[in-house]
A and B are shown apart, each in its own frame.
Chain A
Amino acid sequence: MIGRSERVPFFRRFLLYFFLTLVGVIMAYPFFFMVTTSLKTNQDTFASILAPFGSKLEWGNYRAVLSTVNMGRYMLNTVFVAVCVMAGQIFTSMMGGYAFARFKFPGRDAIFRAYLGTIMIPFMVILIPTYKLMLMFNWVDRYQSLIIPWLFTASGTFLFRQFFKGIPLELEEAAIIDGAGRFRILWGIFAPLALPAVATQATISFLYAWNSFIWPLVIIHNRNNYVVTQGLADIQGGYHANVPYIMAGSTLAILPTVLAFLLAQKYFVEGVATTGLKG
């Protein structure tokens, strides 16, 4: 299909759009099912499983999920955790990326290789010792456990290193001659230039923190501190027979990331695409 649009004949184009739409339906149907069912009554759900609407729009499902199931609280908890992880990861990886890109120090390349090596190692290998650490720090059931262990990110450091390497050296030298310290250079000159990379890393961090499940499941037991994914598992356990509740909960869990994606699609896609190309 590489070529110019005017070369694609009508029939071919029709087939292409037909196929892409078909795939689109498969990709989108679960979301469609989720949103429509979240607005039905429980009786309507199985009476007309395919119908987009039940006998009425049941907004009460959302009210119930937000208050009775306490999903509102879980969402706030997750927003707090996700924003902290996001800010923290951007801070550490920006500093680290700058160090790798612009400083010479003994062991730099070895440390960098060690960082990259971590990408290969599955999380489950460090799951149990990290749990033990949380016990030692007395962080079990606290938000710290959801934030601080995740502030180091190898891929984020890599992302910023690559970005900073692309900034011309002259820019920095001029600032040094003017007497600016390195810290001021990073936050005054490099950071504003790196906004696209910041946005990319922000999307990655936010998605990661918002959607994480096994770690909160292990470390958070107090219901008040639950995150969204735990809340969902909870609805599934407690309201097993009430499908609209489960769908309303799922919609609430998916909405923020989908909205963020729609607003900043470029950065979501860029993060994946650039790491893929350089990987």
Chain B
Amino acid sequence: MTALARRSTASSRRRREALEGYLFLLPSILGFLIFFAGPLLLSLYYSLTNWDLLTPPKTVWLQNFTQAVKLNFRPDAYSSALAEGKGFFSAFGSLIVPNDRIFWIALGNTVMYAVGVILLAIAPAFLLAYLLNSKLRGMTFFRGLYYLPVVASVVAVSLVYLWVFYREGGAVNFVLGLFVKLINGILGTHIPLPVIGWLNDPTTPKLSLFTLIVLTAWRMIGYDMVIFLAALQAVPHSLIEACWVDGGSRNTILRKIVIPLVTPTIFYVLITNLIDVLQVFSEPYIMTRGGPANATITLVYYLYQKGFMRFQMGYASALAWISFALIFIITTVQFRLSSRWVVEE
């Protein structure tokens, strides 16, 4: 065989391999193009239009974005508020008036939601994983138990929570009532029985958000815990033994060996939780309908309202991209900051 012929069979084999490769990739790449990449580009286009789904979209360029984000300055309203006797700072509310008030509320709620869930889920999940990472009996049982909320339908669990936290006679208030009765009985005090509107009391809007955060953290802990557990089990035993032999305490092992080795995992959990929580929808939809007075409205819930209840598809698309930008910015910042505390292998 001449060199030329050999080269041509080699290149035809390579071409054949490439062709086969594309063929195997075809089912998934079709899905990717039609149901992901295509919609992604379309979404960007829609966000630049006014569109009610029935008539063709009208291009308005960045108007949707500016409508959502715009803050109106009202110096006149500010001075009149001052004149009415409001304080220098408390009158700021009338100086800066958001064009779309609910957008800013939803944004604030979503950020608080994310921060709250991350604070309530990651540290407890790590603690649980650390405790479960022993060879004692029953650890698999507890791991399975803690993981149950992860597999359970969020909608179903939200319905259960609705009644566990119900204002009149729900389980949580009932148990609190038992404690109060006990205290009253022992001390002879007359503390009234608590009737706490955990979810829907208009006088305590922040409490409603907090209750939703607790539920979401509750179902996130098992997920985070399993990831931490896998990371802890991957910590080389020889390192720990060596430190143990050198007389290191449990505490030093944890601080000097275990935690540095799992920092990449902590980072991963942080990012995935963040992406997850910034998209929360089912909990407010089922439990509060975004209320009381928009106290629990999230960005996705607002998007759903705008898009599928008021059919402002262009505006809703813009909201989606703003949320994505938020996730993107936070993740990028996290990546930058991560070099300071994540230990590379």
Using a CB–CB cutoff of 8 Å, the interface residues on chain A facing chain B are 1-5, 8, 13, 16-17, 19-20, 23-24, 26-31, 33-34, 37, 46, 49-50, 91-93, 95-96, 98-100, 103-106, 108, 111, 114-115, 118, 120-130, 132-133, 135, 148-154, 157, 182, 186, 207, 210-211, 213-214, 218, 228-229, 232-233, 236, 243, 246-247, 249-251, 253-254, 257-258, 260-262, 265, 268-269, 272-274, 276-277, 279
Contact = CB atoms under 8 A, between A and B. Distances in A.
A257 B22 contact: no
Interface residues of B, number: 108
> Which 6 pairs, one residue from A and one from B, show the smallest C-beta to C-beta distance?
A152-B31, A103-B21, A273-B230, A276-B227, A96-B28, A129-B39
Most interface-central of A13, A27, A123, A150 (chain B CB within 10 A): A27
B35 A130 contact: yes
Contacts of B32: 114-115, 118, 152, 154
A205 to B, nearest CB: 13
Given A104-B21, A151-B27, 20 more contacts: A3-B134, A3-B244, A5-B134, A20-B138, A34-B156, A92-B28, A95-B28, A103-B24, A111-B25, A123-B279, A133-B35, A152-B35, A213-B282, A253-B155, A258-B151, A261-B147, A261-B148, A268-B151, A269-B226, A276-B231
B28 to A, nearest CB: 4
Contacts, number: 292
A257 B153 contact: yes
Contacts of A232: 153, 155-156, 159
Given A1-B134, A50-B175, A125-B320, A96 B151 contact: no
Contacts of B168: 46
Contacts of A30: 149, 157, 160-161, 164
B107 interface: no
B164 A33 contact: yes
B29 interface: yes
A100 B28 CA distance: 11
> Most chain-B CB neighbours within 10 Å: which of A95, A99, A257?
A99
Majority SS at the chain B contact face: helix
A88 B137 CA distance: 39
Given A2-B253, A213-B155, A129 B38 contact: yes
Given A31-B152, A95-B25, A254-B152, A20 B163 contact: no
Contacts of B53: 132, 135
A105 B170 CA distance: 61
B113 to A, nearest CB: 14
Given A30-B161, A105-B21, A250-B156, A236 B28 contact: no
Interface stretch (B98-106, B202-210, B299-307): B299-307
Contact of B18 (A5, A104, A115): A104
A223 to B, nearest CB: 17
A279 to B, nearest CB: 5
A30 B147 CA distance: 13
Contacts of A127: 303, 307, 320
Contacts of A211: 153-155
A132 to B, nearest CB: 7
B166 to A, nearest CB: 9
Interface in B263-295: 265, 268-269, 272, 275, 278-279, 281-282, 285-286
A254 B320 contact: no
Interface string B37-49: 1111011001000
Nearest to A276: B227
Given A96-B25, A214-B304, A50 B174 contact: yes
Contacts of A265: 140, 144, 147
Contacts of B286: 233, 236
Nearest to A48: B174
Of B27, B53, B151, chain A has the most CB atoms within 10 Å of the CB of B151
Contact of B268 (A114, A153, A279): A279
A85 B27 CA distance: 14
14 contacts: A20-B138, A24-B146, A49-B170, A121-B40, A122-B279, A123-B279, A128-B316, A132-B53, A149-B35, A152-B35, A213-B281, A232-B159, A233-B286, A260-B151
Contacts of B146: 23-24, 27
A27 B21 contact: no
Given A3-B134, A129-B43, A24 B145 contact: yes
A115 B192 CA distance: 58
B94 interface: no
A210 B153 contact: yes
Given A106-B18, A261-B147, A120 B25 contact: no
B136 A16 contact: yes
B180 to A, nearest CB: 15
A103 B227 contact: no
A27 B148 contact: yes
A5 B128 CA distance: 17
A89 B46 CA distance: 29
A21 B28 CA distance: 44
